Amino acid sequence: MSTTGAGFFYDGFTSARHAVAVELGPDAVAIRTAEGGFLATWPFAGIVPLAAPEGVLRVGEANRNSTARLEIRDEALAAALMSRAKAADRSGLTDRGKRAKVVAWSFAATMSLLAFGIWGVPFVADRVAPHLPIAVETHLGNAVDAQVRQALDTGNGGKPFECGGEAQQAAARAAFDKLIGTLENAAGLPLPLRAAVVRRSEANAIALPGGHVYLFEGLLTKANSVDEVAGVLAHEIGHVAHRDGTKSVLRGGGMSFLFGMLLGDFTGGGAVVIAAKVVLQSSNSRETEAAADNFGATLVGKVGSDPRALGAILERISGTAGQVPHFLLSHPEGKERSDAIERIARPSVTKPLLTAQEWASLKKICS
Give domain 4-91's CATH architecture: Roll (2.30)
Distance CA 47, CA 183 (A): 79
pLDDT surpassing 70 at residue 109: no
Q: Considering only 73-82, 208-217, 342-351, which range has the smallest mean pLDDT?
A: 342-351
Mean pLDDT across the chain: 79
Distance CA 5, CA 80 (A): 11
326 or 63, which is more confident?
63
250-272: average pLDDT: 55
Distance CA 78, CA 82 (A): 6
Q: What is the pLDDT of residue 240?
A: 93
Q: What is the pLDDT of residue 250?
A: 72
Q: What is the pLDDT of residue 113?
A: 41
* Range among 133-142, 172-181, 331-340, 342-351 rated most confident: 172-181
CB < 8 Å & 24+ apart, contacts of 184-193: 184/237, 186/299, 186/302, 186/303, 187/234, 187/237, 187/241, 187/299, 189/237, 189/240, 189/241, 190/134, 191/134, 191/137, 191/138, 191/240, 193/237, 193/240
CA dihedral over 156, 240, 128, 139, signed as positive or negative: positive
Split at pLDDT 50, 70, 90, the class of 326 is very low
75 or 320, which is more confident?
75
- The three-class DSSP label of residue 306 is coil
135-141: average pLDDT: 82
13-20: average pLDDT: 87
Q: What is the pLDDT of residue 359?
A: 96
8-state DSSP, 267? S
User: Model-level pTM?
Assistant: 0.61
Distance CA 213, CA 327 (A): 12
Split at pLDDT 50, 70, 90, the class of 296 is very high
Which of 239, 224, 233 is CA-nearest to residue 312? 224
Q: Considering only 169-178, 197-206, 243-252, 338-347, which range has the smallest mean pLDDT?
A: 338-347
151-169: average pLDDT: 86
178 vs 230, 337, 353, 358, CA distance in Å?
A: 11, 28, 8, 9
CA dihedral over 168, 169, 172, 177, signed as positive or negative: negative
Domain with CATH 2.30.29.30 in the chain: 4-91
341-366: average pLDDT: 85
Share of the chain above pLDDT 70, in %: 72
Beta sheet of 47-50, edge-to-edge order: 38-43, 28-33, 18-24, 4-10, 69-72, 57-61, 47-50
Phi, psi of 243 (to 5 degrees): 60, 35
Distance CA 364, CA 236 (A): 22
Split at pLDDT 50, 70, 90, the class of 349 is low
